[in-house]
A and B are shown apart, each in its own frame.
Chain A
């Protein structure tokens, strides 16, 4: 509300008014089906995720190894020359404690999205994923984590073939 307007005109509606039939309305669902071409780099990345490997690609000119694999180097624009299988371990680069779900529901136990620099890729090259099997209070930048994979028969060539990353227990 503003200084001039104390109350907006109109009628406030609550969810109950719709379920009780107090208000007439039209419900519609957009036909939002899409197919996204995976391309050379990401297609190969998804195929190797199904096989249980995180794939990167190598630039012959600046010698960077990037993940996910790209066919052209983003830094020097040269074509990449080879795929590099990477380890499924890494280091937390940054993270967030998220107390709302994607459809804006409050949750008590936070989800922990993080950017994880994958071992074998160039420094500061990583992917975004979730952390799991961890106390949210104990997450730290720089901590070592390892991928927890779905069972091989359930994998479908998706980033979700990795369930989450869990901390590596130091011996």
Chain B
């Protein structure tokens, strides 16, 4: 037990903020990948001829044989839904009436995780062909969010 009392005028707590910021550069392959999204609206991958494997997003080295990859391929903007989930909770924890639909969309031998849009939740199914909807070019900043969402391909 302490004998001393806390001064009633004492501040209850000391408030502070740690000024921690970071800057992440994407590296050689992803730099080209994002720049192509920004400037041309294409999704690029790299192909390893030794393993016949196409990396999307583009990688600088093959994970399987560690060879340097310099064969760039445009994988188009249409892929198929491999898996998906409905999100009923917002980033701040508040509930969502209409779920956000997040899906993994296959491109080459890899794929991208993105939102689905222009679609009702009950229409989503595995194997659905979807195409990328890009932001207008002046608004693109070189980020994966330059793709607004993927929508079902109209046949």
A residues with a Cβ closer than 8 A to B are 11, 13, 18, 23-30, 32-41, 43-44, 46-48, 50-51, 57, 69, 71-72, 79-83, 157
- Which size bracket describes the interface of B in this complex? 20 to 34
Instruction: Report Cα–Cα, A71/B2, bound state, in Å.
Output: 6
Complex CA gap A57/B7 in Å reads 13
Which listed residue, A29, A37, A157, touches B21 by the CB 8 Å rule?
A29
- B10 in contact with A24 (CB, 8 Å): no
In the A-B complex, list the 9 residue pairs whose CB atoms are closest, starting with the nearest: A32-B18, A43-B10, A44-B7, A24-B142, A47-B7, A71-B2, A47-B9, A30-B20, A35-B13
Known: A28-B22, A28-B24, A46-B11. A40 touches B2 (CB 8 A): yes
B23→A83 contact, CB < 8 A: no
Q: Give me 8 A-to-B residue pairs in the complex whose CB atoms sit less than 8 angstroms apart, sorted by A's number.
A: A27-B22, A27-B23, A29-B22, A30-B21, A32-B18, A35-B14, A40-B5, A79-B4
Q: How far is the CB of A14 from chain B (nearest CB, A)?
A: 12
Question: A24-B142, A71-B2, A79-B3 are contacts. A38–B21 as well, Cβ < 8 Å?
Answer: no
If A38-B10, A43-B10 are given as contacts, then 13 extra A-B residue pairs at C-beta distance below 8 Å, sorted by A number, are A24-B34, A24-B35, A27-B24, A28-B23, A29-B21, A30-B22, A33-B17, A36-B14, A48-B7, A79-B2, A80-B2, A80-B4, A157-B9
| Most B Cβ at <10 Å: residue of A25, A37, A50 | A25
Residue of A nearest to B33 (CB): A24
- Cβ–Cβ contact B24 & A25, under 8 A: yes
* A83 proximity list for chain B (CB < 8 A): 4
**Please, which residues of chain A bring their CB within 8 A of the CB of B15?**
33-36
Report the bound CA distance from A34 to B20 in whole Å. 13
Please report the C-alpha to C-alpha distance between residue A47 and residue B6 in the assembled complex, in whole angstroms: 10
